Structure 1
């Protein structure tokens, strides 16, 4: 009898605990963040200021994650990637507003570091996206492994030159001190260590300057290959190759997947392009921010990946969503 009373009592206590837990936790409520201010994303260039396909797709990922996780996100930045001082000023203003977290795509590896230090002093967590900054403070870095991506571009150039004959190679880059430029060039040079590289040309992420640089490069008949390190640069290089009718003589390997780049790829003006996953980059930056603010453990480094695309594989099913994303907004 005593055991029966004990059993019934235990069952009653268990039932009370179960009911308490059932009514205290509502699905979708415990995981929501109650933020007084929006998370702020400081990008290199706004979509309105410079309609660069890469940043447009990054923003799609940011907006989708913000909607999915129920947080408000403000996106700000200069009109152009070369406006580094402007980005520093914008970041400083954002820090003064004391947001819960800042996601930063730094235009300069060194010049943004001091401002990140100020954020650290104020206790504002920082996540870096796309391009790193010279500071140990950011809690996570979400980007393409740019050295690896550069190696992919360099290896493809090696393959192209082995088929079409040896020759010198020129590198056309975007902005000298941005981490993406530094790391991609390092990867390219690592892969092309046995080749002759005539030099690196910088264009301040200006398509016209990239075009003019390429026209100058083409005056050297020994140049048989050009590696272009981002979307804007690739477009400028490809236009120069097209206008010079040099696509049979000079191999071009580029970066990214703007619609015009893919058209150049189909035409054979660009032989290959290393395509990043900008949607994933934007989405994962917000997802990681939410996880951090909830107190979850997050990875200090998230590689969003890249893939080498050629005219031969660009229409394969596995790459359709990557190359031809549908904007539902």
Structure 2
């Protein structure tokens, strides 16, 4: 009897222990599940930013804007930057773009030197699900994600309007007098739009003005200087020069300074760098058509990030340009455009 009771008691104890063990196991499993964090790690997006040239303060400012967007992403974005040495190195830029696409980045932001040469690579990227944000120069394709740029024709027309206003203030009658455009490169849609925009507006405002044949400086300051010197020497009735980028502006300013003609010839140029700003302060240049490269670099990366995440991105975005003169360059908003990194 005692043996039976002992055996029964032993069975009960074992059953209770087994039940407790099972309960403990289930409880611990639940606790482990609750304490294991969900996989909330976000993917880091690789965005490649390619500019027209690395030898230009303008494009370095755009790259600084792209890097600022990287910093503001709190580790969500890694920006790599690249570009050919000069805006004339179109084949080099195409090669850079093709190599970048081969690495399968999450997005590409590009300021293309050519409206045509980079099109096949851009279309290939888009076809393979890589968003492409184009900046500054519009490509001859609709297969891109977004386009951010100045209206270059309109902005150049603003320079023509400012030039006519300056002539009026100086007591110069522009009728029958001469103006010239010194352009960086031929064949670029950006430069073509700037050249044509300036000429269209200046001839609208002064129908009988003489527009000399456009000269091309091949994005070389020394060549722009030489062109400006020769034009000034050969045309004593020259009253206006328009340079369509910062390298042309610097070359023109040097020619005006050396010839002593800066008080007689009104000059406007696109974009900014240290030399152009100094020439503006000195009165050698009358004005600059200033864009917002820092903002375009920043917004380009941000739009790329939105496109990667499947958000809606506006197809074409026009950014206003500003005419900067010696009179307004100290205004806070203008100063910020001239010195975006301060």
- Shorter-normalised TM range: 0.7 to 0.9
Structure 2: gaps spanning 5 or more residues: 1-37
Query: CA separation in 2, counterparts of 1:220 and 1:199?
Result: 13
Query: CA separation in 2, counterparts of 1:39 and 1:318?
Result: 30
Shift of 1:190: 2.1
Instruction: Tell me the residue number matched to 2:186.
Output: 176
Report the secondary structure of 1:127's partner residue: strand
Instruction: Tell me the residue number matched to 2:223.
Output: 209
Instruction: Tell me the residue number matched to 2:266.
Output: 251
Query: CA separation in 2, counterparts of 1:183 and 1:106?
Result: 15
Report the secondary structure of 1:299's partner residue: coil
Structure 1: gaps spanning 5 or more residues: 1-25
Report the secondary structure of 1:141's partner residue: strand
Q: 1:68 aligns with which of 40, 52, 72?
A: 72
Tell me, yes or no, if the aligned pair for 2:62 and 2:297 is still in contact at 8 Å: yes
Tell me, yes or no, if the aligned pair for 1:33 and 1:294 is still in contact at 8 Å: no
Shift of 1:123: 3.0
2:336 corresponds to 1:321: yes
Larger radius of gyration: 2
Shift of 1:182: 1.5
Instruction: Tell me the residue number matched to 2:127.
Output: 121
Instruction: Tell me the residue number matched to 2:280.
Output: 265
Q: TM (normalized to structure 1)?
A: 0.85
Query: CA separation in 2, counterparts of 1:117 and 1:319?
Result: 37
Query: CA separation in 1, counterparts of 2:66 and 2:126?
Result: 23
Number of aligned residue pairs: give it. Answer: 294
Report the secondary structure of 1:325's partner residue: coil
Instruction: Tell me the residue number matched to 1:157.
Output: 163
Shift of 1:99: 1.4
Shift of 1:117: 2.5
Instruction: Tell me the residue number matched to 2:212.
Output: 198
Q: 2:85 aligns with which of 68, 79, 87?
A: 79
Query: CA separation in 1, counterparts of 2:119 and 2:299?
Result: 22
Tell me, yes or no, if the aligned pair for 1:106 and 1:178 is still in contact at 8 Å: no
Query: CA separation in 2, counterparts of 1:33 and 1:176?
Result: 45
Shift of 1:244: 0.9
Q: Write out per-residue CA displacement over residues 150-171 of structure 1, whole angstroms, 9 at most, x where no aligned residue.
A: 1111111222233423121100
Shift of 1:41: 1.1
Shift of 1:292: 1.0
Query: CA separation in 2, counterparts of 1:307 and 1:121?
Result: 36
Shift of 1:121: 3.4
Q: Write out per-residue CA displacement over residues 54-89 of structure 1, whole angstroms, 9 at most, x where no aligned residue.
A: 112111110010111220011111111111111111
Q: TM (normalized to structure 2)?
A: 0.82
Instruction: Using the TM superposition, name which of 228-237 and 193-202 deviates more.
Output: 193-202
